[in-house]
Amino acid sequence: MDATHESEQWRNLPNVEERFWAKVDKTEGCWLWKLSPSSRGYGFFHYTAVKNHHKNALAHRVAYSLTHGPITPDQILDHLCFNRRCVRPSHLRIVTAKQNREHLAGAQANNQCGVRGVYFEKGAYRRKPWRARVMHNKKFVEAGQFATLEEATEAVRLKRLELFTHSDADELQAAPPG
Ligand SMILES: [Zn+2]
């Protein structure tokens, strides 16, 4: 069985699982990649594919793939916890390219704060201008109106985990995020 895509050359490393998980700090919530993240906030797993040929793989993709089996580059992983540095497999899910476009389109159209699912509604709610909502099964699920970006961000995170729990009960119920 050789389903390994070129993008997963790291699979050929000896003891890849031990090497990888040694760089992960498993908190009760997110599992954090210990090395410095990229400028966009993602963790990278550095490895040597062929002699003196150094490569990087996105750490959360490696984590998911080690746990669930090979993934291809067109399988996009979504962080349910919004923490790009997190590599906890239960906080990741594969979204289709279409779903991802929907997410991005929604974010670009409405989002002025950079946090997906959180929208600033000018004028509509003066005391609680931050609206939190989550895309679930192609529909928006409201998570409330908040006075601060931080509150709205947290509400979105919790709502996403709640909705995720409904469809993928076992993993999250066994280890609820902190
Ligand atoms: Zn996480």
What H or E segment, with its residue span, contains residue 49? Answer: strand 44-50
**Alpha carbons 91 and 81: distance in angstroms, whole number:** 6
State how far the alpha carbon of 143 is from the alpha carbons of 97, 119, 155, 168, in Å.
25, 11, 6, 20
pLDDT score, position 100: 64
pLDDT score, position 56: 92
Q: Are 48 and 54 in contact (CB under 8 A)?
A: yes
Positions in the chain short of pLDDT 50: 1-2, 167-178
**Domain boundary at 70, 95, 120, which?**
95
At position 35, the amino acid (one-letter code) is L
**Domain boundary at 95, 130, 147, which?**
95
Ligand 1: centre distance to CA 28 (Å) = 10
Mark whether 62 and 124 lie in a shared domain. Answer: no
Ligand 1: centre distance to CA 20 (Å) = 17
Ligand 1: centre distance to CA 23 (Å) = 15
Total number of domains in the chain: 2
State how far the alpha carbon of 161 is from the alpha carbons of 2, 49, 91, 156, 168, in Å.
34, 36, 8, 9, 10
**Alpha carbons 137 and 135: distance in angstroms, whole number:** 7
Mark whether 25 and 50 lie in a shared domain. Answer: yes
Domain encompassing residue 147 = 100-172
Mark whether 132 and 78 lie in a shared domain. Answer: no
Let me know if residue 141 belongs to a domain. yes
pLDDT score, position 46: 93
User: In this structure, what token pair is assigned to residue 74?
Assistant: 């067109």
pLDDT score, position 90: 93
Ligand 1: centre distance to CA 60 (Å) = 10
